[in-house]
Each structure stands twice: as structure tokens, then as C-alpha cells.
Structure 1
Amino acid sequence: MTVYFGKQRQLATEKITPTHGIVLQLIRRVEGSGHKLYIDSYFSSPALCDDLLECKINTCGTVHNDRRGMPQEIRPKSMKLKKGDIVTRVKGNLSVVHWKDKHDVYLLKNMHPPPLDGNFRDECGRAIKPHVIEENNVHMGFVDKSDRMVNRYGIARRTRKWMKKLFFHLLDMTILNAYLLHKSCDGKMTHKKFHKILVCDLILQSHEANITVSDVSRGRPSSSGAQLSRLEVKHSKHWPAKGKQRHCLVCSINKKSRSRLFCCKKCDVALCVVDCFEKWHTHVRV
């Protein structure tokens, strides 16, 4: 991947668009190997397809009908099609397919034989989708599915700084890739559960790191209760209170028997006010 910063400087001898140049930059490692590249309308153009073919890369993808090099006669103003109509124009190895369904669809390709012109509809009057359109949808569907999975549990938030937006997107992609690796190893967790467990593990690691921080910290001095991470939370209600006579839970874990009247208001466990109360609320495992 590469980050697009808007209009980028091109060499004086290159009369290409910035998106055209980015695609040529990204395929440098695979040029000459006979790959097939599926692209969307944001990048595709006749000039790009010709350049990629010189690199032995076949292309297929939707295209805007007003791109430079597109034939004038297939535009809506020049040709009014009915539902199910297919019009094809060929120039060398490059084909343009104009298919009419609910909307006009334009496909640019040099890897499939061009479909026949005509009107193709089933018995119910529905437009029959050409094979080249179906194959393009299948391959582009993986990209669409990836975007949907990233956005389903995305952590990105609105921000005016593009660097933050990029960081959150990369983090979402990293989490998705980790989940796909988990599934490839016969993992049984759902996408949602994977996210939940990941967040819980990160919180626990951060909690343990906060406990091991030395009392003398650099920079601005912290408040006296900074190490009591559970007590720091606003309205947490983890406060000592009098209750029934019960054995201190921390002492019991350490195989000591001590009865106490004090307990944690929220946790509802008996604790010694000195030492045990702090240990219970700062140590993940006592």
C-alpha cells in the first residue's frame, strides 16, 4: 500500500494522472509475472490498462464513461439502452462493455473475450448479467467484504487529522488480519468474540504494567491514589464499609485465617483495611 497525498509531482515526460502513477508504483514487484489485476473505477482508464499490459498484467474493472480514451458512442447521451442491453467496443486487446440493468455499468478489460451485443433477459424480464460482470463482482467482492469486516467493529473515530485516521485504519486492518490468521488455524471464535478477548487482554496487560510502575515517576507528580487503578475510575464505588464478620478473602488465598468486619462496598468481599484492600484492587492475581 501507499498513502495518496493528492496531486503528486510527476516527471515532465509522464502525462499520467496521480492515481495512474500510484498503480504503476504498486505493481513493480509483480510486473512481468502474468498476474491479473481487478481495479475499481477510481483507478481504471484505457491508458492504465495499456501500460499494465506492457508489464504483462491483465486488467478488469469498472470505469467512468468520461475517462480519457473511452469511446464517445457508448455514452448515455449518444446511446439509450433498454434493460438487458449489452454493447461492446473493441480496440486492440482492450474491450469496453456497456451493460444496462437498473443503472448503466461500464467495464474495461483485456483478459476476457468480449460478450456478444444484444438484449438478454430471462423469462421474468430481469436483465441477465454477463459473465465478465459476474467474475469482476466475485473478485472485487473480497475487497468489499474486507471493508465491511473492518468497519463492523472498527475503532476509528472522527478526527480532523488524517494521520490519526490512517493509524486507526491500519490498526483495524491489523486486527482483521490477526482474526483471519486465527481462522486459518482452525479457530472457532467469532469476529466479535475475537475483538472482545483482544480488548480484555490489552486491558489486563496495561493493568499489570501500571502496577509494576515505580513509585517515583518522571514528569508531573501523580495523585496519591494513582496506583489504585480500580479506585481511580469515577463512580466506581470500591470503598471500604462495615458488614458481617467474615474471613478476609486475600488472607484466605494466602492460607491465613483472619475474620474482619470490613468489606469492599462494590465487590462484596471481606478485606483487611490495611494491605489486603489495596492488594485486592491493584493486583490482577493476588
Structure 2
Amino acid sequence: MIEMRKFLGLCLLQSQLKFSSIRKLFSIDALHYHPAFPSQMSGRRFEQILRCFCVEEENSNDPLRKIKIFLDLLIQKFANAYAPNEALSLDESLLLFRGRLYFRTYMKGKKAKYGIKFYELCSAQGYVLNIEVYKGHRENDENMTTIESLVMRLMQSYLNKGHHLFMDNYYNSLPLSNKLLSKKTKGEHVWRRQNQTYVSKWKDKRDVLCLTTAYHPSMINTANRRQQEKRKPIEIVNYNQNMSGVDRADQMMSYYSCPRKTIRCYKKVIFHLLDVAVWNSFYIFKEKTGSQMKYIEYREAIIRSLTGIDNKRDGRTLVQFKRAQIQTNEINNNGTQHFPEKILPPENYQQKTYFQRCKQCYKQGIRKETSYCCKNCMSKPALCPAPCFETWHTENNV
């Protein structure tokens, strides 16, 4: 369990760094050296875990059986952790993947163009509430088209609660609007009109058709980013304010993305879901605490928690300290284990770190100070983490 926490922490950390290959992360070459990675595990062990990393459902023909359990668990956690406001948005997202996959999708309007498509239901500010992975053609529910069935599945936990659902014209239709309205869910979009469903046409740079079950078409004053006022239909204003939830989530996750190039599509999806989980937790943290912490700072706090890397520890001694721990964890001849620990400063000492002269270096005529001592030795000798720590205990047979 501890090793898996470190593995996930390193996966999050590598998304913030630019390296040409995984092995470069663990290299001691001066051009690529990063002490956080070799201090946690070897590059070979990291690759072994990555090679076997999946969450497979046995006896299943589902093309996404290796991630289905994980996906269902995350969706349940997302729904239980946050109750969204009135406005919801539904749109698709694309994860870059150019490998051989029969349900790989081409989307001209997306930056990635080719990849795995996700249908996502989000809050207006970008919290991801529900996800469905497109995996090819599927049988429709009775009396519903493919798109109508998709929308009803994503909205299943949020029907009959009075939410307003914002969609683009790919998803919306007159029958779907009436179905959502019957479930106390109001929708807005571009299309037609019937009974309680209103259709409006607004002339901007081109004709814009809007279909709504929430508002009676009317014109209101609104200001743009440059504070220039303009009259627009109320349904257009609300659509612009609340439709960007999926784009907002995609934007934030794209800055520090875990998925790397691989021929195994399920691994890309797993790491994409890891990004979604981190973004959702940050969203809840900001909303509940009102903190001004940045997203990158929040990610680094999670990485430190998973890997156990103290933010007060100097990177220059991180690998040496780890090696000293590994070397001295073995039981010596007297049956005692030796562990390095920080030297406690005396009372009223203003600095956080206290230094003493290294005993082993002093024996060799070298004047060198260290902030570590042996935890279990009675005299608690001050010793450099490596190599003095091992040499001292070997020479003194303690």
C-alpha cells in the first residue's frame, strides 16, 4: 500500500516535469537528475508497477473491463462528495490516443483530433459529476434515440431535482427537452418549439436559434469582459455563463496531465481519471475553505503527502538520506537497528535546523557539520547520512 502511494505520487509529479522517457526521471546524469524519484524507488521498480497497473473485472466482455471498477467507484465518490448548484452542463471531451482501437474517435474541433471520447456532466464551474466513455455503437433504450439515451443515463442521479441542463445542438432535440421537463429538469439550447418549449431567433453575426424550457424569451442588458454593455436574449446570456463546465475542467487538467504515450488505452484512461479526481478534490477544497491556494500548490501538497517528502528537507541530501535508511535498516551484530533522525535543537534556539560536527568526519581530520544523528545509539552521535552513518557503526561494531 505504501509503495502504491509513492507510485501515484511520482505519477502526479512527473506530469509537472518534461522528460523524454521514464528512465530519465530516475537518471543520475547531471542533465536529468531529479532527487525525488530515485529517493522513492528504482526506475526498474516503477516500470514494473506501471507495466502491471490495471483494475480488471473478471469474466467480462466489456472493452473497458480493465478500468470499469475504478471508473464506477470514482463516479460514486464524485457524486457523494459534492452537491451541485442549479446549473449543469453536458459536453464531450477527447483524450489523445493514436493507437489501434476500434472505438477511437476523430473530432475535427478538438486539439487532439484523434482519441478516446468522454461524455461528461459537469457543474457550471467545472466539477465533473458523471463520465461515460464512448466505446462504439450500443443498443438504444426503448422509444429513445442514441443521444437521448446517453443524456438520460448521465442525468440519472440528477433528475427530479430542478436542475437546469445546458447542452449544445448536438445533444438537444424537442423530444429530449420534453422528457427532461417531465423530470423537473429544464434544458436550454439551439433548435425548435412546442407547447412549454420556447424557440427564439437572435441576429448576432449570424442567426442564432435557441430552444429553452426555462425562460420566456426576452432581451436583457449584459456586459462583456471589457465592460461594454449589449442587449442579448436571456437564454443566450445564461447559456454563455453556464455551458463552459467541461471546457473549464479540460483546461485545468491539461496544464499538468498524467497520461503519457502508450499503446495500452486503458492506462491512459486510468491516469486521465486520476487527473479528474485531483481536479475535483481541488474544486471542493477551494469552495469549502475559500483558500487562495493555486492548483499547482495543491498538487504538490498531495504529492508530498503520498511520497512522504518533507517540504523542509533539502533536495541535496534527500537521496543520501534514503540510502542511509536502506543500509541501516538491516539488523547489525548486536541485534539493534539504527536510523538517522534530525538533531533536536536546544531550547530557545531560533533556527529550525541545528548542526553538530560529524563524528566520523572528525576522526578523519575533516571539519564537517551535519543536522542528523543516530536515533537508537545511547550517545546519539552526529553523523552525515551517507557514507559516515554506515562507516561509523561498522567500525565501532554497534
Note whether the superposition's TM-score is higher than 0.5: yes
Secondary structure, in 3 states, of the residue corresponding to 2:244? Answer: helix
Match for residue 256 of structure 1 among 360, 378, 381: 381
Residue type of the alignment partner of 1:114: P
Match for residue 16 of structure 1 among 139, 145, 163: 145
- 1:249 to 1:271, Cα distance in 2 relative to 1, 3 A: farther
Quote the Cα distance in structure 1 between the aligned partners of 2:194 and 2:372. Answer: 84
What does residue 165 of structure 1 align with? 268
What does residue 122 of structure 1 align with? none
What does residue 21 of structure 2 align with? none
Deviation at 1:247, TM superposition (A): 4.5
Match for residue 40 of structure 1 among 160, 168, 188: 168
Asked if the contact 1:251/1:276 (under 8 Å) is kept, the reply is: no
Question: Normalising by structure 2, what TM-score?
Answer: 0.43
Is it true that 1:134 corresponds to 2:250 in the alignment? no
Quote the Cα distance in structure 2 between the aligned partners of 1:277 and 1:145. Answer: 57
Residue type of the alignment partner of 1:112: Y
- 1:42 to 1:163, Cα distance in 2 relative to 1, 3 A: farther
What does residue 355 of structure 2 align with? none
- Number of equivalent positions: 206
Equivalent residues in 2 for 1:32-71, closer than 5 Å: 32-61=160-189, 63=190, 70=191
CA deviation digits over 1:67-102, x for unaligned, max 9? xxx56xxxxxxxxxxxxxxxxxx4222223333333
Deviation at 1:59, TM superposition (A): 0.8
- 1:14 to 1:112, Cα distance in 2 relative to 1, 3 A: same
What does residue 219 of structure 1 align with? none
Is it true that 1:274 corresponds to 2:390 in the alignment? yes
Residue type of the alignment partner of 2:136: G
Q: Which has the higher contact order (CA 8 A, sep 6+)?
A: 2
Q: In percent, how many aligned pairs have the same letter?
A: 26
Q: Report the structure number with the largest CA radius of gyration.
A: 1
Residue type of the alignment partner of 2:260: R
Quote the Cα distance in structure 2 between the aligned partners of 1:14 and 1:277. Answer: 78
Is it true that 1:245 corresponds to 2:366 in the alignment? yes
Quote the Cα distance in structure 2 between the aligned partners of 1:98 and 1:199. Answer: 50
What does residue 121 of structure 1 align with? none
CA deviation digits over 1:15-45, x for unaligned, max 9? 512x210211233334334332222333222
Deviation at 1:172, TM superposition (A): 1.1
What does residue 182 of structure 1 align with? 285
Residue type of the alignment partner of 1:272: C
CA deviation digits over 1:247-270, x for unaligned, max 9? 573775653267xxxx8xxxxx88
- 1:29 to 1:15, Cα distance in 2 relative to 1, 3 A: closer
- 1:196 to 1:45, Cα distance in 2 relative to 1, 3 A: same
- 1:204 to 1:30, Cα distance in 2 relative to 1, 3 A: closer
Quote the Cα distance in structure 2 between the aligned partners of 1:15 and 1:139. Answer: 26
CA deviation digits over 1:124-164, x for unaligned, max 9? x9973322111111122344333322223232334454423
Quote the Cα distance in structure 2 between the aligned partners of 1:130 and 1:20. Answer: 26
Quote the Cα distance in structure 2 between the aligned partners of 1:106 and 1:159. Answer: 43
Runs of at least 5 residues in structure 2 that lack an aligned partner in the other structure: 1-129, 220-227, 310-318, 331-363
- 1:251 to 1:24, Cα distance in 2 relative to 1, 3 A: closer
Asked if the contact 1:107/1:133 (under 8 Å) is kept, the reply is: yes
Quote the Cα distance in structure 2 between the aligned partners of 1:271 and 1:21. Answer: 65
CA deviation digits over 1:221-268, x for unaligned, max 9? xxxxxxxxxxxxxxxxxxxxxx9713573775653267xxxx8xxxxx
- 1:132 to 1:155, Cα distance in 2 relative to 1, 3 A: same
Question: Normalising by structure 1, what TM-score?
Answer: 0.57
Match for residue 147 of structure 1 among 250, 269, 272: 250
